[in-house]
Amino acid sequence: MLENKDESRSPLSDIGEFKLINHLTKQVKLHHKSTIKGVGDDCAVISYKEKQTLVTTDLLIEGVHFDLSYMPLKHLGYKAVMVNLSDVYAMNGIAKQITVSIAVSNRFPVEALEELYAGIHLACKMYQVDLVGGDTTSSTKGMLISVTAIGDVEQKDVVYRNGAKPNDLLVVTGDLGAAYLGFQILEREKQVFEVNPNAQPELENYTYLVERQLKPEARKDVVKILKELEVKPTSMIDISDGLSSEILHLCQQSKVGCQLYENKIPLDQQVISTCEELNLDSTTIALNGGEDYELLFTINQEDYDKIKGNPNFTVIGFITPEKEGAHLITRANQKIEIIAQGWNAMEK
């Protein structure tokens, strides 16, 4: 599908860089008054007045972060935007603009880039974000995407990683482990397909897992819900690199420790059943799998009543003084030190 063996496809060399960028961005509709000038000059121009600007950037590389044999290009474009928006929401901000730089080798026809941009444009529409610039170039091998997201936040609302205090509650959004298992399932189906190209993928029992891997959603809603509930977290962090490593970042930056309860970690039913099937420990997956674009935050205990019972949030532990360290309390009531494993250690 992706390689340019079909002569009806348009080779990239038929179209210059300037025309290609025009072609891929002509449908951009701007959502924000703050976007004074988008694509088409040396820089985008943005006007934030009294708010603070947030900037974050991520790089996704074929063969390292994604595998085009099961990642449709439209989904890849969508996901590349989510990865960055998630970091803006983790500061309690609203993402307003993105720039997208792409390098592709000649094996990709123009239509492949159109698919990729379809996902980027969809993400921009769904999350009300303006695409304001970027760079498109050739690569000697494969595809890579570099996205920078820009957002804003009132100075009084910005939430850093370093504000957690002892006795604060540790709260996580959504559920954990599904995106990693989705990856495992897709890898398994890929191997089946390589042995038998006529095999149909069997994904019906794993729909949630595969969706979490291929079409993650950043938690824009969490920023809105927290505002409505009048809860300002004392600290917050995106946990797409894995809960255990990110809890440790938060504790280190806040100079605190924590106790995390294994039996409180939110798991979807498909995560539990698939872990049983694959003989994997669901807690290990939830702690270290990564790629769940969820947020971890801490709140003052006084705010507990405001979030209690909200289906978006699960209290998974509490903050302790630094000298007590960071620990997981297991179902068997054992106390185990939390060690960063994160994304790399899972050998993805």
Q: Which of 2, 15, 122, 158 binds a copy of itself (CB under 8 A)?
A: 158
Q: Which of 31, 37, 107, 188 binds a copy of itself (CB under 8 A)?
A: 37
Q: Which of 188, 249, 306, 348 binds a copy of itself (CB under 8 A)?
A: 249
Q: How many CB atoms lie within 10 A of CB 84?
A: 27
Residues numbered 112 to 151 that lie near a copy of itself (CB under 8 A) are 132-135, 137-142, 144, 146, 148-151
Does position 242 bind a copy of itself by CB under 8 A? no
Residue 196 CB-half CA count within 13 A: 7
The CB-of-273 to a copy of itself minimum distance in angstroms stands at: 32
Distance CA 22, CA 20 (A): 5
Angle made by CA atoms 96, 100, 106, in degrees to the nearest 5: 165
Does position 73 bind a copy of itself by CB under 8 A? no
Q: How many CB atoms lie within 10 A of CB 341?
A: 17
The CB-of-330 to a copy of itself minimum distance in angstroms stands at: 26
DSSP, residue by residue, 309-338: T-TTEEEEEEEEEGGG-EEEE-TT--EEE-
The CB-of-347 to a copy of itself minimum distance in angstroms stands at: 13
Q: Which residue has the tokens 């026809």?
A: 109
Q: Which of 39, 76, 82, 88 binds a copy of itself (CB under 8 A)?
A: 88
Q: Largest Cα–Cα distance of the chain, in whole Å?
A: 66
β-partners of residue 99 are 133, 148
Which residues contact residue 77 at a Cβ distance below 8 angstroms, ignoring those fewer than 6 apart?
115, 116, 117, 118, 119, 120, 121, 122, 123, 145
Distance CA 182, CA 187 (A): 9
Q: Which of 97, 213, 259, 288 binds a copy of itself (CB under 8 A)?
A: 97
The CB-of-272 to a copy of itself minimum distance in angstroms stands at: 29
Stretch that binds a copy of itself, among 197-205, 232-240, 274-282, 307-315 (CB under 8 A): 232-240
Q: Which of 1, 55, 272, 336 binds a copy of itself (CB under 8 A)?
A: 55
11 vs 16, which CB is nearer to a copy of itself?
Answer: 16
Does position 61 bind a copy of itself by CB under 8 A? yes
Q: Which of 48, 193, 208, 261 binds a copy of itself (CB under 8 A)?
A: 48
Does position 99 bind a copy of itself by CB under 8 A? yes
DSSP, residue by residue, 185-218: HHHHHHHHHHH-TTPPP--GGGHHHHHHHHS---
24 vs 132, which CB is nearer to a copy of itself?
Answer: 132
Does position 53 bind a copy of itself by CB under 8 A? yes
Distance CA 206, CA 40 (A): 43
> Residue numbers of the site for a copy of itself (CB under 8 A)?
16-18, 36-37, 40-50, 52-59, 61-65, 86-88, 90-91, 93, 97, 99, 101-103, 132-135, 137-142, 144, 146, 148-151, 153, 155, 158, 160-162, 236-238, 245, 249, 253, 344
